[in-house]
Structure 1
Amino acid sequence: MPQLNPNPWFFIMLTSWLTYSMIIQPKLLSFISMNPPLNKTQTTTTTSPWTWPWT
C-alpha cells in the first residue's frame, strides 16, 4: 500500500511545516491589529433577580 510509505510524504510535510513556521508565520505576526482589545471598554451588565411566583 503506497500511502503507508512515508518516504516522499514526510519530506513534503516537513518542508511545508518549516516554510510555514519560518517564513509565513513571522510575516503574519508582524501585522498590527487595527482594533486591539485593550482599547475596548468593559461593560458591566446588571442583572435583576427573577421573582418566582411560587416562592
Structure 2
Amino acid sequence: MPQLNLDPWLLILSSSWFIYILIIQPKISSYLSMNNPTNKNNKTPKTTPWIWPWA
C-alpha cells in the first residue's frame, strides 16, 4: 500500500519546514507593523449606578 510508505512524505514535510524556517519566516518577520502599539489608558471611567424602578 503506497500510503504507508513514509519516504516521500517525510522528505516533503521536512523540506517544506526548512523552506519555511529559513526563507519565508525571516521575510515575514522583517515587515514593520503599520499600527504601533500604544499604552492603554488605565483611568477608570466615571459611571453612575443604574437605578432600577422595581428595587
State if a TM-score over 0.5 links the two structures: yes
What aligned pairs does 1:32-51 form with structure 2 within 5 A after superposition?
A: 32-38=32-38, 41-42=40-41, 46=45, 49=49, 51=51
Deviations 1:10-50 (A, max 9, x none): 00110010000100000000000010223x65476756555
> Does 2:21 correspond to 1:21?
yes
Identity %: 52
Structure 2 residue aligned with 1:2: 2
User: Of the two, which has the highest radius of gyration?
Assistant: 2
Secondary structure of the 1:37 match is coil
Distance in 1 between the 2:43 and 2:11 partners?
Answer: 52
Q: Report how many residues are paired.
A: 54
5+ residue gaps, structure 1? none
The structure with the greater share of residues assigned to helix is 1
Runs of 4 or more off by more than 6 Å in structure 1?
A: none
